[in-house]
Structure 1
Amino acid sequence: MKFRRQRRDDLAINLTPLIDVVFLLLIFFMVSTSFTTQTQLSVNLPEAKGEKGVSPARLKLTIDAAGSFALNGTPIPGSPQGLRTALTTTAGDSRATPLTIAADGEAAHRYVVRALDVASQLGFQQLTIAAQTPTLASPEAQ
């Protein structure tokens, strides 16, 4: 007696549903991702070594360790509105005047960021952060 062999289908993985799922996951992650825009502020950082530059018309914003602000030696309020008012009255309409921010090493970072943010919003183009020449005896210089 001769038996007929049953026909076997070739085993294969159907890729269509897999591709559909991958595309759905891709679309889900693209839609659910939140993109944040970060603003950048161009700052000219001075070298730690070198000679002092001389500039006739310069604004100097000083921040001490307690967070007190002074513009050209005159105490000013530390709020953003106070900084904005003091900078606009001192600089006038000229935003090309160089602005140097000299912060104490113990001053909180938020005060420096606040000063940089206000200066950026007002449109100052030449910002400098003051640095001190390191001494050889200090452990931080090594």
Structure 2
Amino acid sequence: MNFRKRPALEEPEINLIPFIDVLLVILIFLVLNTTYTKYTELPINLPSANARQAQTRPQEVVVTVTSDGRYVVNQQFVEGRSVELLAAGLQRAAAGRNNLVVVINADAAASHQSVINVMDAARRAGLSQLTFATQGQAEARTAP
């Protein structure tokens, strides 16, 4: 019989160095296998659509957005480029009529923010029906 005292058992420890090594290998694997898309390199030419021509409706307000961001409401220029001025122009064009459709006729080179400003101004003016005017595929000009 052996009555000698045994040394106290040591508490088990988690060795973090191999754990960190495994995580770094997984991180490198994920970085190398991730694909990055660049939206600025997408070749698009807007707007054009292949649909039948819409019938003209007497209850519409046509908003034209030029390529440099100016606005025209029913063939009248809006002074300035702010949303408030555009909303006031839309309210004048609506003149108390209900159920008007706002037709957004934006140039293909117009900025996205200019079109969003028209949508925001229509909301502020209480006009909730929006549509976009496009040109047919046969009428579309191809960019070089």
TM-score tier (shorter): 0.5 to 0.7
Q: Secondary structure at the match of 1:133?
A: coil
Amino acid at match of 2:77: P
Report the alpha carbon displacement of residue 99 of structure 1 after superposing the two structures with TM: 0.4
**1:118 aligned residue:** 121
**2:23 aligned residue:** none
Report the alpha carbon displacement of residue 90 of structure 1 after superposing the two structures with TM: 1.4
Sequence identity, in percent? 26
Q: Where does structure 1 lack aligned partners over 5 or more consecutive residues?
A: 15-45
Distance 1:53 1:84, change over 3 A: same
* Residue-by-residue CA offset, 1:103-127 (whole Å, 9 max, x unaligned): 1112222221211121123332211
Amino acid at match of 2:125: L
Query: Is 1:5 aligned to residue 8 of structure 2?
Result: no
Q: Where does structure 2 lack aligned partners over 5 or more consecutive residues?
A: 15-46
TM-score of the superposition, structure 1-length normalised? 0.61
Asked if the contact 1:95/1:123 (under 8 Å) is kept, the reply is: no
1:56 to 50, 53, 58: 58
Amino acid at match of 1:133: G
2:78 to 56, 76, 79: 76
Distance 1:10 1:123, change over 3 A: farther
Q: How does 1:16-35 map to 2 (within 5 A)?
A: none
RMSD: 3.1
Report the alpha carbon displacement of residue 79 of structure 1 after superposing the two structures with TM: 2.3
TM-score of the superposition, structure 2-length normalised? 0.60
How many residues in Structure 1 have an aligned counterpart in Structure 2? 109
Asked if the contact 2:88/2:125 (under 8 Å) is kept, the reply is: no
